[in-house]
Structure 1
Amino acid sequence: MKPYPLQFKPEMKERVWGGRALEQFGLELPDGSIGEGWMIGDHPNGTTKVMNGELAGLGLDEVRERFGAELFGSKGFSEKSGRFPLLIKLLDCNDDLSVQVHPSDDYAGLPAGELGKTEMWYILDAKPGAKIVYGLKPGTDEAAFQASIEEDRIMDTLQEVTVEAGDSFYIPAGTVHALGAGVLVAEIQQNSDTTYRLYDYKRPGLDGKLRELHVEDSLNVTDYEGKSATRMKTDLQAHNEWLRLASSPYFITDKGRVEGRWSLQTSADSFVILIACEGTGALTWDEGSLEVKPGDCFLLPASLGGYALEGSFTVLRSMVP
């Protein structure tokens, strides 16, 4: 089989905080409040299937089992789970998400076979005044944080940040965080579905019952210093050049602005994931081309070699280091 860029049918997840905004990308949404589109996933809770080309109909897990390092690269697997190492999502936050924190790979309380969860957010769109929770206020230690939870004043200890389209947030495991209402987000993360909730605004879940909180686990995994969490504006002055947004042991993510034709290359070490943010164009390679529009996500095999981005659009590129 000759390698080619893969597109997947997203798995849509209903969430109490979700809405219908993902429809603007031309995605088919089931009924309900859809908060997450799992665009590229190889997880027991959601495995996406290829939509195009010779591999159409196969799940990402089946592609992994059949073609392995040939498509994903020598570093393209989780050493712990053996699965595809990343999970790519689009998030529609019609309401506030729970205040939450994620564990690292070495946390003893992780479910069997599950990874920790370091992630990043790129804000695709934000309503005026939209905010997120991003870390603890300086000087908040474990005792102060625990007291704020027990006394029902956790929001007093959290940093809130007003966001706009183009903002980027790196969220290493241990960072307390929450997306606020009115934001649309591209999320690049470790292939994990483990979240510890600290606070959920006392609202009922989809089943009408209060959702479970995980205070003990959250206190155990929280990074009270928060020094490795970083954020940035991503305005691009030049085109056809990469701006580094995040660099972690699990993924590297860059942003670029395509104008005209931009010739690029994959390496034998890693697949490449592309997420189109705004504008339109095409992804071309020796054997063909694909239209590119906002919300599109592509998995480029490590063995693809040369490819090009053509048109006028912004794009995120993620790889494993």
Structure 2
Amino acid sequence: MHKPYPLQFQPEFKERVWGGRALEQFGLTIPDGHIGEGWMIADHPNGTTKVLNGELAGLGLDEIRETYGRDWLGNKGVSEQGGRFPLLIKLLDCNDDLSIQVHPTDDYAGLPKGELGKTEMWYVLDAKPDAKIIYGLKENVTHDQLRDALENGTVMDTLQEVPVEAGDSFFIPAGTVHALCAGVLVAEIQQNSDTTYRIFDYNRPGLDGKPRELHIEDSLNVTVFKNTGATSMKTNQAVPGEWLTLASCPYFVVEKGMVNRSWNLSTSEDSFTILVVCEGSGQLFWNDTEVLDLKAGQCYLLPSSLGNYQLDGNTTVLRSYLP
């Protein structure tokens, strides 16, 4: 058995009609085209990341899961059904508006076989002046009103627009109508799912020149019209050396931490830990002598059996784990 160590993966990049080139600012080598998504830690039929560093370089996250199971992913990190890794970690470059969309819950009858629902959260890494997102329906919009608006082309009148800036955090439970808009760069922590129901796509052509498919019936079926549980917050009250909880749900806990000196931490047997480096630079120490340099845009999977580790430098990280 190899000794546990922090795993970094080669991202899987996805071209999207709304993507751009902003992921290059993290030093990532991205393919040509409109790159909207970097799947940083992924174990999904539509994208599986391979280890970049250390003795297990070249192995896919699916192979790590199959070989090391509970020892590395924790008691909660391995599904009894032999399912895939529970989370999907992405960086999103929204050079243009995303479609207005909604995600299903795990128990939605229309889900593709083997697919999970999709509850997610966003942390805004960067935002242009006047950037905004679509975040939920306006108060008291009903199922029938939404259906009528979709038929009349007035759906934008039913949606809440929210201005965003770097450091904003949004929790988006399944069933919440939402869309990222142009000019935002986002870290996304989500259930490991690639099921999105598009409600409206601004009548624009996709990458192939044809309108992208809409999923009106599925969307109306899964939309939650009252009390979605969506919460958002500014995170500038974060204090160095203390974790600020951004999202906590049955699928993940996400916390923001500011590092300005050595910070002693440890993993738990229950769950792996995922670190997303948001800004600044620093070091990750483990096993007394081992060290990795941290820089913005990097994502690391720390095995549950890693034990004690330290963060140092001047950096901001997101820490995610299973509750």
| Same fold flag (TM > 0.5) | yes
Shift of residue 230, structure 1, vs aligned partner = 0.2
Residues 1-20 of structure 1 aligned to structure 2 (within 5 Å): 1-20=2-21
In 2, Cα distance between the equivalents of 1:77 and 1:102? 23
Taking structure 1 as reference, are residues 85 and 235 closer, same or farther at Cα in structure 2, changes over 3 Å only?
same
Match of residue 206 from structure 2: 205
Match of residue 82 from structure 1: 83
Which of 296, 301, 306 is matched with 2:308 structurally?
306
Cα deviation 1:224-264 (Å, max 9, x = unaligned): 01440000000135211000000011000000100110000
Q: Which residue identity does 1:50 align to in structure 2?
A: V
Match of residue 315 from structure 1: 317
In 2, Cα distance between the equivalents of 1:237 and 1:90? 22
Match of residue 230 from structure 1: 231
Structure 2: which 5+ residue stretches go unaligned? Answer: none
Q: Which moved more, 1:223-232 or 1:201-210?
A: 223-232
Structure 1: which 5+ residue stretches go unaligned? Answer: none
Match of residue 299 from structure 2: 297
Conservation of the 8 A alpha-carbon contact between 1:70 and 1:302:
yes
Conservation of the 8 A alpha-carbon contact between 1:81 and 1:114:
no
Q: What is the aligned length? A: 321
Q: Percentage identity across aligned positions?
A: 70
Taking structure 1 as reference, are residues 79 and 16 closer, same or farther at Cα in structure 2, changes over 3 Å only?
farther
In 2, Cα distance between the equivalents of 1:250 and 1:78? 12
Q: Considering only aligned residues, what root-mean-square deviation do their CA atoms show, in Å?
A: 0.9
Does the residue aligned with 1:201 lie in a helix, a strand or coil?
coil
- What stretches of structure 1 move > 6 A for 4+ residues in a row? none
Shift of residue 299, structure 1, vs aligned partner = 0.2
Conservation of the 8 A alpha-carbon contact between 1:117 and 1:194:
yes
Q: Which residue identity does 2:229 align to in structure 1?
A: S
Q: Which residue identity does 1:310 align to in structure 2?
A: D
Does the residue aligned with 1:30 lie in a helix, a strand or coil?
coil
In 2, Cα distance between the equivalents of 1:12 and 1:53? 22
Does the residue aligned with 1:7 lie in a helix, a strand or coil?
strand
Q: TM-score, normalised by structure 2?
A: 0.98
Cα deviation 1:150-202 (Å, max 9, x = unaligned): 11100000000000000000000000000000000000000000000000001
Shift of residue 82, structure 1, vs aligned partner = 1.2
Match of residue 196 from structure 1: 197
Residues 267-286 of structure 1 aligned to structure 2 (within 5 Å): 267-286=268-287
In 1, Cα distance between the equivalents of 2:80 and 2:200? 32
Does the residue aligned with 1:65 lie in a helix, a strand or coil?
helix
Does the residue aligned with 2:262 lie in a helix, a strand or coil?
strand
Taking structure 1 as reference, are residues 81 and 246 closer, same or farther at Cα in structure 2, changes over 3 Å only?
farther
Q: TM-score, normalised by structure 1?
A: 0.99
Taking structure 1 as reference, are residues 232 and 6 closer, same or farther at Cα in structure 2, changes over 3 Å only?
same
Conservation of the 8 A alpha-carbon contact between 1:38 and 1:89:
yes
Conservation of the 8 A alpha-carbon contact between 2:175 and 2:228:
no
